[in-house]
Chains A and B, each alone.
Chain A
Amino acid sequence: MSYMIEGSTGAWEVVIGLEVHAQVISKAKLFSGASAHFGADPNTHVSLVDAAFPGMLPVLNRECVDQAIRTGLGLNAKINLMSRFDRKNYFYADLPQGYQISQFEFPIVGEGSIEIELEDGSVKNIGITRLHLEQDAGKSIHDLTPKDTVVDLNRSGVALMEIVSEPDMRSPEEAGAYLRKIRAIVRYLGTCDGNMEEGSMRADVNVSVRKPGEDYRTRCELKNINSIRYVMQAIEIEAKRHIEIYENGGEVDQETRLFDVARGETRTMRSKENAHDYRYFPDPDLLPLIVEQSHVDHLKSTLAELPDDKRNRFQSEYGLPRYDANVLVAEQDVANFFEKVAKNRDGRMASNWVTGELFAVLNKQGLTIHESPISADALGSLLDLIADNTINGKIAKEVFEDMVETGDMPGDIVERKGLKQVTDTGAIEKVIAEILAANPDKIAQYKSGKDKLFGFFVGQVMKEMQGKANPAIVNDLLKKQLS
C-alpha cells in the first residue's frame, strides 16, 4: 500500500526530489593543486587559486572529471561529451571568488535512473535528472569569538558532484532507500566515501504534497541535511506542515527552509523575496570540457562491479534469495567478507552465518565488518568443520561464541573442548535405548498419535550426549526404534 498522509480533507500524497552533494575522492582540488584531504590545520590546504588571489587561474583536475563520469555510468546515465563550467554568483565570506564554479546549462552527466528496493520487496525506478561538477566553499565558524566569523578555506575548491533526482519519490522510505542506494553506488565505485556524518555527502530535499491525480503543487527546499534518518524525519514533518496550511485555506510559499533536528520542525531560511539570484554565466577562464567517447568506454570497462550486478551474481552463483543477496551487497566490505567465506563452500550456509550469527555479534558490540572479532578465514574453517561432519550445527554455534571470546581457530576449540560430533551409531543407539526405557509413558502417547513428542525424544538424546550427536543419525535411529 502506498504511503499517504491522512488529513481532515482526505489522503495526501507526498512528492519528493533530492539533490545529493557528494565530495569527490581525489588527491587534489577541482581546479588547483592543493590537497583535498580532510582534517588538516586551518588554511594549510589552500593555494592562492582557492583563496582567489587576483590573476590566479583555474586548471581542471582530470581525475575529478573521471570520477564524475564513473559515477554517471553507475547511475546508468548519459555522459555528455561536451560540458561547460559556469559561474554561480553569490556573496559570502567563505566564498573568496564571489562565485562558485559549477555546471549549469551543460552538465557532464545527463539523465539516468537507479533501482531502489523497498521493505515489502517491491522495486521502483527513480529518475536521475543530472550530475554536475562544482567547487565546495570554505567553512565559516560562528562561535569561536563573540563578534567575528572566522573562515577556514581548506575545503574551498574541493570537488563536489551534485546528483539531482527527478521528483519520483513518494514516501520517506523511498527517499531513504534512494540515498542508501546512491551511497552504495559511490562507495562501490570509490568516487565518494559517502560519509554523511563528516559531511562528505549531504542532501537537499524538495518536498510538496498533492491530492492523488493532481499536478505538482508548490515545493519547499530543505537544505543541507546530513543523515538519512533526518532526511526521512524532515520529509514527514514538512509534508504535514503543507497539509495543515492547505487544509486551513492557505497557500504554501516556495522557499528554502532548514530542518531543526532538536525541535523537530522546519523553519524559513530564505523566503522567495530574498531568494538568491545567481546570475549564472559561462566561466571565461575555462574552455568547454570535451571528453572522447573512447575514454568513456575505457572508464566503463574498468568500472567496479556495481551493487545491483553483485546482487544478481550472488543470486545465481551462490543460489541466494534476492533479499539475502541485497543485505550482503548493501556494503561492499560485507560483500567482500562474504565472498571470502563462501569461496568453495556452501554459499547459502555462508550467507546465513554472516547475516545471522556474525551480524548479531557486530550489532551487539557496535563493530563494523572491518573490526569483526572473527576473520573470514576463521568463519570459513568453522563451516568446513560442519561440512565434513566434525561438528553439527548446534555445536558450531557454541564454537562460534568461543571464537568471539577467545579469537581461537574453530579446529582448536573443538579439540580443546572435545566437541567432536558422535557419528558412531552404536553409541547413539545406546543412549536412545536409555531414554526410551526411562519414558514408557511418552512412548505410549507418541504411539497413540502425539507426533510432536518426537522432538522431545530427539532433545533428550542430544542433551544426554552434550549436543554432540549427529542430528541426522539420531533422527534416523529414533524413527526406527519408535515405529
Chain B
Amino acid sequence: MGAELTDKILDKKIVQRVAKLSSLAVKEDELAIYAADLGGIINWMEQLNGVDITDVQPMVGTEIAQLRLREDVVTDGDCKEDVLSNAPERIADFYAVPKVVE
C-alpha cells in the first residue's frame, strides 16, 4: 500500500450517485454541501493510508477470538407485533411501503 496522502475530491456527480444507490432524495442545491461534508470525512480517514501495513495481516474484527456459532434450533421469531412496531405503515400483518416498481 502506498503511504502517501492525497486529497480526495468528491464531486457533485459522485454524491448524486451515492444518493441514488441509497434511494435518498437530495436536492440540487444540497449536493455541494454534502460533497464538502463527505469529502471532509473521507479525507480525515485517509490519514490511515499514512500507516505502513506491509507484513500486517488483514483484520476484520477487533477481538482475537473464534467466530461464535449457534446450534440449528429455533429459539426466536413469533414476535410479529415487535417486528412490525417500527413499520412506517402497516397493512394487515405486512410492512407497507410506497409501490416499488423497478
Which residues on A are within 8 Å of B, measured CB to CB?
A: 26-28, 32-35, 41-51, 53, 59-65, 84, 89-93, 98, 140-142, 144-145, 147-153, 269-270, 276-277, 279, 282-284, 286-290
Is the C-beta of B6 less than 8 angstroms from some C-beta in chain A?
Answer: no
Bitwise interface map of B from 65 to 102 toward A, beta carbon under 8 Å scored 1, else 0: 11111111111111110111010010111111111111
A28–B102 touching, CB < 8 Å = no
On chain B, the residues within 8 Å of A41 by CB distance are: 80, 93
A93: nearest chain-B partner, CB-CB = B97
Is the C-beta of B60 less than 8 angstroms from some C-beta in chain A?
Answer: yes
Question: Interface residue count for B (Cβ, 8 Å)?
Answer: 40
Interface of A: prevailing SS: loop
On chain B, the residues within 8 Å of A35 by CB distance are: 74, 77
Given contacts A43-B80, A59-B69, 10 further A-B contacts (CB under 8 A): A28-B76, A33-B76, A47-B77, A61-B71, A147-B98, A148-B96, A276-B21, A283-B60, A286-B61, A287-B67
A138: nearest chain-B partner, CB-CB = B95
Listed A/B pairs (16) with beta-carbon separation below 8 Å: A27-B74, A28-B74, A32-B76, A32-B77, A42-B92, A43-B93, A45-B77, A45-B78, A47-B79, A59-B70, A63-B72, A90-B21, A145-B96, A148-B97, A153-B95, A287-B63
Q: A65-B69, A91-B22 are in contact. Are A288 and B79 (CB under 8 A)?
A: no
A142–B72 touching, CB < 8 Å = no
B23–A91 touching, CB < 8 Å = yes
Q: A51-B83, A92-B100, A287-B65 are in contact. Are A150 and B70 (CB under 8 A)?
A: no
Q: A53-B86, A91-B21, A151-B97 are in contact. Are A46 and B79 (CB under 8 A)?
A: yes
On chain B, the residues within 8 Å of A98 by CB distance are: 22
**Chain B nearest CB, measured from A361 CB (Å):** 39
On chain B, the residues within 8 Å of A64 by CB distance are: 72
**Chain A nearest CB, measured from B69 CB (Å):** 4
On chain B, the residues within 8 Å of A150 by CB distance are: 91-92, 94-97
Interface of B: prevailing SS: loop
Task: Compute the total of residue contacts between A and B using a CB distance below 8 Å.
Answer: 147
B68–A59 touching, CB < 8 Å = yes
**Chain B nearest CB, measured from A236 CB (Å):** 26
On chain A, the residues within 8 Å of B91 by CB distance are: 144-145, 148, 150
Expressed in whole angstroms, the Cα–Cα distance for A5 and B97 within the complex equals 46
Q: Identify the 4 closest CB pairs spanning chains A and B, nearest first.
A: A63-B72, A34-B77, A33-B75, A33-B76
**Chain B nearest CB, measured from A354 CB (Å):** 36
Q: A150-B96, A152-B94 are in contact. Are A34 and B68 (CB under 8 A)?
A: no
On chain B, the residues within 8 Å of A63 by CB distance are: 71-72
Q: A93-B97, A150-B96, A153-B95 are in contact. Are A61 and B82 (CB under 8 A)?
A: no
**Chain B nearest CB, measured from A154 CB (Å):** 9
Which single member of A65, A276, A288 contacts B60 (CB below 8 Å)?
A288
